[in-house]
Amino acid sequence: MKYTSLPNTDVKVSKICLGTMTWGEQNTEADGHEQMDYAVEQGVNFFDTAELYSVPARKETQGTTEQIIGSWFKKTKKRNQIVLASKIAGPGFSNQHIRQKGYTKEALTMALNESLKRLQTDYIDLYQLHWPERHTNFFGTRGYSHKNDEAWNDNFKEVLESLNGFVKEGKIRYIGLSNETPYGIMRFSQESKNHGLPKMITVQNPYSLLNRLYEVGSAEISMRENIGLLPYSPLAFGRLTEKHIHGTPENSRIALFPMFSRYNSENSKKAAGMYYNLAKEHGLSLAQMALAFVNRQPFVTSNIIGATGLDQLKENISSIDVELKPELLKEINKIHELIPNPAP
């Protein structure tokens, strides 16, 4: 395993982060425990979860993933070996079945305390805001359409002040963002500088061979402001694996949950096929090449990988040992030029 540090801290994390969002829906508690055991054996010390999980977001399964992690902590007594990240659900989903209070101090307090209870721990290393409160183009939408009648009021400073209270209490160590735009990343950075408040040290956004939009504006922020990307969906819901090249497996996430359609466009399928052929030419699996591409980016702190099966997990973690040659990277960029960012 390779390691780096969470930006602006001395906390060492593995370059591969274990994603957990299928545990409680597609995976059982036993599956989750098996995956955590294996990941730790391979040197992974960074887990990411959220109060919303498992996915798809449903009232009946909300919080199950954190519960599975909590029961593993209780069983193994390995909490102190893990850098743990979780998230408070933003209004996009919380209004449906969790709560209807955005990122008010009351909502943050309630969410954090409930997560701590499910996780069976008294602190979370990295606590993230899971979607902006304001209306913006996140999670599968390309263009931005401004709404003058938006109910949201500018509250970047207030949110940081609330989170700072939890840091002082010892309930969280560091803070981060998820599904955030360049505007939001910079506003939080500005407010933390201006008022001596904790800095958002990471942002968790989609990034893969089918979605390199982070490079357009946010990558420069990552490098200049030292805010690391924690990329999610680096395999595009499995689209960047061989099992999807010749069709859609019945038990795959894309087949089971049709609402996850962002990687189903014809251009996404076409690009994935081209990347598959390129990987074969260089003696790699498509998944290994796709993950290795993400692993090598200088703005990436840790690559969030997830799997429903142990064989998938083994292949994904092994990507840390794959080095992409310059000529292969040139070919990847040629495909990207032909079909840029087919998935929003």
Active-site amino acid positions = 53
Q: Residue 202: in which H helix or E strand, if any?
A: strand 200-204
Strand ranges in 78-163 using DSSP code E only, listed in sequence order: 83-89, 124-130
Q: Residue 174: in which H helix or E strand, if any?
A: strand 172-178
The Cα–Cα gap between 87 and 21 comes to: 12
- Contacts with 101 (C-beta within 8 Å, 6 or more apart), sequence order: 94, 107
The Cα–Cα gap between 198 and 9 comes to: 12
Rounded to whole angstroms, what are the CA distances from 115 to 24, 118, 334? 15, 5, 44
The Cα–Cα gap between 44 and 138 comes to: 29
Question: Three-class SS of residue 245?
Answer: coil
∠ CA 130-131-135, rounded to 5°: 160
